[in-house]
Amino acid sequence: MEAVLLRARGVPDSRAIATYLAAGGYEGWKKALAMAPDAVTREVTDSELRGRGGAGFPTGRKWSFVPKDHPGPRYLICNADESEPGTFKDREIIEHDPHQVIEGIAIASYAVGAKTAYIYIRGEFVRWARILEEAIEEARRAGFLGKNGLGSGFDLDVWVHRGAGAYICGEETALLESLEGKRGFPRLKPPFPAVVGAFGKPTVVNNVETLACVPHIMTRGAHWFASIGRPRNTGPKLFSVSGHVNRPGVYELPLGVTFREIIHEHCGGIRGGRKLKAFFPGGTSAPIMTAAEVDVQADFDACAQAGTMLGSGGVIVLDETVDMVEAAANVAHFYAHESCGQCTPCREGADWCKDILDRMVEGHARAADPETLLRICRFSSSGMTICPLGDAYALPISSMVNKFREEFDRRIGTATPLPQKKLPVLPWAGPRPGFGV
């Protein structure tokens, strides 16, 4: 398909506003400003655009939840936290085409009546935060942002807000807490951010890629957008592909392409002529799929039907040399580290999964371990946690145990007893100057 979101990749000086304008940039913004805000939202609803941040929620519908009669400010947040393992697509958009994101932010802010927008970007992305800041400044100087943008009477400020290292701050309510200057603890929903969001005001949180789709919907129309992909799964999608493929990278493909096409055609198959063993379809928070499931279509509904999720579209490919117990331990380490600690099933469960899997990897598996892992995961994914991270570790780990059970059982047959336990040692990074300790 024709490149849409990545059309600037490979174009010289692609980040400059002049390049963007020459390619028809900010035309969608002009068009939106000539419409009523509701009509803009309707156009996005008609395009059937679904959120690219992970949950696939219809974007137009999300915008329509913002109360119309609310006095006082509302906010728009662009979620550039990009922390789901296996996901690196938002960075690709920002690297090549930051104005596309800023134009999307402007249109979305206008549609929901936000006069302030924040881009929450993960702290490690220093270079990409700078790129965005420069682009915002360019757009402001060109009169697209700021007071009375394009003479429309609409004021809009856009600010970049850097996170500081915490996966959980990609979750929208944790993001809001973090933006407000607090620890990134997710909030109970409802109320949803569209009603009570940043600083207690109605707020829309959208992913970078979602917002980057919006200018194209404005200029080329909802019907054009909906003609790409399949019904209810429309539009171009960026797939971040990593792991054991010959050509890892970000690929722009219509939703509904199969994982076989992504892995074997676009990415040139498995490295070293080896065989595909398994893959995560949408970051490690999505249940794993086996090589036999490679013909599933990569879109929201087909993945859900296959018992997994498209998530962020981060495809992690594992070849036949990968030991699933080890891979599960690696996944567990991530979530044990990133759980914010508010809920017991998540905080304790992820940690126990990590400890059990580490012990299995070290050769001391116990007969009850696979069932214990499944039990912990069932508890954590039973709706007893504040945010979806409780499911995000439990579903992939239980899927790995279930789909590759014989590898977990094999560990039991060859296990040696656990050596006498050493006393735990306080992880000590040295004295902290100024505290006298």
Partner 1 sequence: MSTRPLVAARPETIAEVTFDATLEERIVDLLRRYPTRRAAILPVLWLCQERYGWISPGVIRAVAQRLGESPAFVEGVVSFYTMYYTRPPARYVLQVCTTLSCAYCGGKELVEHLKGRLGISFGEKTPDGEFQLIGVQCLGACGGAPVVQINDDYFEQLDIKRLDGLLDELTGRR
Ligand X SMILES: Cc1cc2nc3c(=O)[nH]c(=O)nc-3n(C[C@H](O)[C@H](O)[C@H](O)COP(=O)(O)O)c2cc1C
Residues that bind ligand X (CB under 6 A): 51-55, 57, 59, 62, 79, 81-84, 168, 170-172, 205-207, 210, 387-389, 392
Q: Is 320 in the site for partner 1 (CB under 8 A)?
A: no
Q: Which is nearer to partner 1, 163 or 202 (CB)?
A: 163
Q: Which residues of 402-419 are buried (b: 16+ CB within 10 A; e: fewer)?
A: ebbeebbeebeeebeeee
Count residues binding ligand SF4 (CB under 6 A): 14
- Nearest Cα residue to 223 out of 87, 385, 42: 42
Please tell me the chain's helix, strand, coil percentages from 3-state DSSP, rounded to the nearest 5: 45, 15, 40
Contact pick of 370, 390, 394, 395 for ligand SF4 (by CB under 6 A):
390
Site string (323-362) toward partner 1, x via CB under 8 A: ----x--xx-xx--xx------------------------
SS3 (DSSP) at 417 = coil
Q: Are 396 and 329 in contact (CB under 8 A)?
A: no
Q: How far is the CB of 188 from ligand SF4 (least distance, A)?
A: 9
Cβ proximity to ligand SF4: between 155 and 180 the closer is 180
DSSP H helical ranges for 73-193 = 89-96, 98-112, 126-141, 172-179
Contact (CB, 8 A) for 108 and 334:
no
Instruction: Say how far apart CA 365 and CA 410 lie, in whole Å.
Output: 9
387 binds ligand SF4 (CB under 6 A): yes
Q: Which does 149 bind (CB under 5 to 8 A by kind): ligand X, ligand SF4, partner 1, none?
A: none
C-alpha–C-alpha distance, residues 281 and 86, integer Å? 9
Of the pair 263, 346, the CB lying nearest ligand X is at 346
Peptide bond into 191 cis (omega under 30): yes
Least CB distance to partner 1 at residue 352 (A): 19
Within 180-209, the residues that bind partner 1 by CB under 8 A are 180-184, 199
Q: Which amino acid is at 143?
A: G
Lookup result for tokens 């979305």? 108
The only residue of 43, 48, 82, 252 in contact with partner 1, by rule CB under 8 A: 82
- Comparing CB distances to ligand SF4, the nearer of 85 and 390 is 390
Residues 113-152 that bind ligand SF4 (CB under 6 A): none
Residue 149 Rama label (left phi>0; alpha psi -120 to 50; beta): beta
Tell me if 58 sits within 8 A of 64, measured CB to CB.
no
- Count CA atoms within 13 Å of residue 427 on its CB side: 0
Binding ligand SF4 by CB under 6 A: which of 53, 54, 98, 186? 186
From 59-67, 237-245, 301-309, 343-351, span contacting ligand SF4 (CB under 6 A): 343-351
**CB-CB contact of 203 with 109 (8 Å):** no
Residue 343 CB, nearest approach to ligand SF4 (Å): 3
179 lies in the binding site for partner 1 (CB under 8 A): yes
β-sheet bridge partners, residue 315: 241
Taking CB under 6 A as the rule, does residue 168 contact ligand SF4? yes
Minimal distance, residue 151 CB to partner 1, in Å: 24
Distance CA 263, CA 322 (A): 17
| Binds partner 1 by CB under 8 A, chosen from 51, 60, 86, 254 | 86
Contact call for residue 332 and ligand SF4 (CB under 6 A)? no
Distance, in Å, from the CA atom of 79 to the CA atom of 167, rounded to the nearest integer, reads 12
Which one of ligand SF4, ligand X, partner 1, none interacts with residue 426, CB within 5 to 8 A by kind? none
Q: Which does 385 bind (CB under 5 to 8 A by kind): ligand SF4, ligand X, partner 1, none?
A: ligand SF4
| Partner whose footprint covers residue 124, from ligand X, partner 1, ligand SF4, none (CB < 5 to 8 Å by kind) | partner 1
Residue 99 touching ligand SF4 (CB under 6 A): no
User: What's the longest Cα–Cα distance across the chain?
Assistant: 75
**Distance of alpha carbon 390 from the chain centroid:** 16
**Contacting partner 1 (CB under 8 A), which of 88, 144, 154, 408?**
88
For helices 37-46 and 98-112, angle between their N-to-C axes, nearest 10 degrees: 120
158, 119 in Cβ contact below 8 A? yes
Q: Which amino acid, residue 176?
A: L
The one of ligand X, partner 1, ligand SF4, none whose footprint includes residue 76, by CB under 5 to 8 A per kind, is none
Query: In angstroms, rounded to a whole number, what is the distance separating the alpha carbons of residues 6 and 250?
Result: 9
Question: From partner 1, ligand SF4, ligand X, none, which one binds at residue 339 (CB under 5 to 8 Å depending on kind)?
Answer: ligand SF4
Footprint on this chain of ligand SF4 (rule: CB under 6 A): 168, 186, 339-343, 346-347, 385-387, 389-390
Binding footprint of partner 1 on the chain (CB under 8 A): 73, 82-88, 90-91, 122-127, 157, 159, 161-167, 178-184, 199, 240-244, 248-250, 280, 284, 314, 316, 318, 322, 327, 330-331, 333-334, 337-338, 427, 429-435
